[in-house]
Amino acid sequence: MRSETTPETALETDTPTASSGSPDDPSVFALPPALARKSAPALIAADDAHLAAVRARLAEEIVALDERLVALRAARARLGQEALDRDLDIHRSTSRLQLLRRFGVDLCLGRMVVAGTGTEPAETVYIGRIGLSDAEGGRLLVDWRAPAAEPFFAATHADPAGLVSRRRYRWSTGPGNARRITDYWDEVFDPAAYAEAGLDAAAALDDQSAFIASLGASRSPRMRDVLGTIQSDQDAIIRASSRDALVVDGGPGTGKTVVALHRAAYLMHAEQRLSHGGILFVGPHRPYLAYVEDVLPSLGEDSVRVCTLADLAPEGRDGDRMPEEADPLARSLKSGARLLDAVTAAVRYHEHAPAERLLVETPWRDVIVEPQAWAEAFDAPAPGTAHNDARDEVWDALVGGLVEEYADEDVPPRHLDRALRQSTALQRAFVAAWPVLDPAGVVADLWSTPAYLRICAPWLDEQERAALRRGAGDGVDPRDWTRQDLPLLDAARALIGDPAAARRRRRQEAVTAEEREYRERVLDELLAADDDKESAVTGFFFGDDSAGVREMLLDEDALPRLDPDALAGPFAHVIIDEAQELSDAEWAMLLRRVPSHSLTIVGDRAQARHGFGETWSERLARVGIRRIEQASLRINYRTPEEVMTEAEPVIRAALPDANVPVSVRSSGIPVRHAAVAERDELLATWLAAHEEGIACVIGDDRPYADAQGAIDPRVRLRTPVTAKGLEFDLVVLVAPGRFGEGVEGAVDRYVSMTRATQELVILR
């Protein structure tokens, strides 16, 4: 499908021919003069009436939600499940209220006419971002994620999916920030049924679809969701099952990111099993996250966690400024999975059961700690328990075993237990045998202590160990982390546990013990003060059913709260955008968080900077993912034909089998070539001619300022890496030859060129 586009500004600056929504004329249609024929009452009256009912119902629901939230917040809830239920109710009500206020009547995406069956007539169904019913329970909007809404997105002329017709709305912001329909696009799949239903006079068919027109719209600082124009190939991927790994391969502009974000919102609604672990969405860099941050809330979803890969490790939370490993050999070693085994060995190195007997003196008798006692204690933790978490279990098992062996009538178990735990000799031996570890310290020791690295990674040769070495002698701090260190730090944290969490847990246990001791003292005093040992007081606190009563006296507010890392997982499903860039070590970092391997893997092999010579199946099998489904997106909805014609030879020269998508539109603006010195003049001319839209300079980090010296917020400065996943009206590509040769240089040039939605200028 190819079509020339009308500039978006022509639709928004013309005087509307329909009402702009005044109280005297509440029509939601505000069509420009160029579309006057679409304003006929026969075409829009039914929609106006239905959307008026939607608007009225929304107003009622907003009032009701406001009142409900006031009541919920004022109500006193008991502890436990009742308090949890109230908090969840407040969260759900607040989220829905925010969505209703954010959108209003433009929650409606469009409508479809479903073919009748037998004596049943055709039915008109309106599709919304959320479901909405009237006061009597009648259906006003069907949630886009519901099975009943699927034909609206899936229908094609080859497979109408039971539809007679479909109408998509195009909403724009008018005076007073009112949202109005400035265009709509009708498709008829069954002309005979359409005429039979008496609808033939209520169609506005043209070759300028709302979808194609929206592709030429000026870009904003943040991605706008395109829910109303999702195409059938994209919808099939959005609604695919999450049971196994799904690979979505697509070239630039095919809507991979759109599909990934809409899939996250769809799965959270459609698959209840995912609500327990939730969904993690991983993007390539922080500018990308800033660009897409509005999409999920606009789809009615606020529970998906969104982050970059670097965010998964605390050391990488400022990851966009974290350097790459400079040495190619070190980068290659840290990107592979083998060094993760060295981290495992480094942790196990610190779990060393003593091989000699230990004498521990107590007030009652000497206790001999045999090597077997240590070995049995070391086996106490369940497999997979983190080192620091297992430490307390090992200690308790060691002391418990000794108490069981040595306690008798002359040595009460409680007293012996206390004596052993307070023994300096036993404590020192235990600290040496199972010390508290710091994940970052373990990894830093690998790089700074050659003998330690040799023990933990005996397969490395001298050259490889030298490439990894960092220390005072090299003038480098071993904790000057690079992006390639993050998977190793994450592996160490998973094996060791969070030291801060371990400290919090021990503090919590200490406070709990103090609270229980205080409780027992109070109860003892109550019992001593009660002369009647058969009284209700004694029975209440000391009877057979008193355990629960005693626990109620524990002051939970006095206990320190554990604060687990929200990104540690496990998650029920993980979605990764730009997945072609992930190293084996980074894949391990992700798979640690989704043991089920329920994944959506979105990427383009042709955009892998370091090459991607395998198939997706081969690549994923190597990291342990074997059950996969694959889908391919081959239609370029974003990049104009003029740009793709110039970009395709760039990537084909390096990757002949690249999945280069076919553009569906032409901007009419040829790719321009100019000198680097013309950069600012070009930007100034473009900004003056375009009141809206975003320009991006790639390959030149000099800030752009206007004639008065002010930095223009509509001009972005990006590298090929930080431009990935983004799109701009104008791309000014500066000296692309400096990106280098080979696959990496070709990919950087290809990615940079295909960010443009309107115009590309190459400066040499």
Annotated binding residues for ATP: 250-257
φ, ψ for residue 25 (rounded to 5)?
A: -140, 90
SS3 750: helix
Give me the residue label for tokens 């327990």.
276
As given in the structure block, the two tokens for residue 575 are 């979605």
Please check whether residue 567 is in contact with residue 307, taking contact to mean a CB–CB distance below 8 angstroms: yes
Please check whether residue 89 is in contact with residue 72, taking contact to mean a CB–CB distance below 8 angstroms: yes
Give me the residue label for tokens 């929200």.
566
How far is residue 338's CA from residue 491's CA, in Å, rounded to a whole number?
12
**Mode of pairing for the β-strands spanning 728-734 and 756-763:** parallel
Please check whether residue 443 is in contact with residue 468, taking contact to mean a CB–CB distance below 8 angstroms: no
Alpha-carbon torsion 752, 754, 760, 762, what sign? positive
Q: Which residues contribute to the annotated binding site?
A: 250-257
How far is residue 213's CA from residue 210's CA, in Å, rounded to a whole number?
5
SS3 35: helix
Distances from the Cα of 162 to the Cα of 146, 195, 198, 530, 663, angstroms: 16, 16, 18, 80, 29
Please check whether residue 244 is in contact with residue 627, taking contact to mean a CB–CB distance below 8 angstroms: yes
How far is residue 749's CA from residue 743's CA, in Å, rounded to a whole number?
10
As given in the structure block, the two tokens for residue 273 are 């099993």
- Say which residues have a Cβ less than 8 Å from residue 96's Cβ, sequence separation at least 6: 65, 130
Q: Among candidates 306, 304, 301, which has minimal Cα distance to 92? A: 301
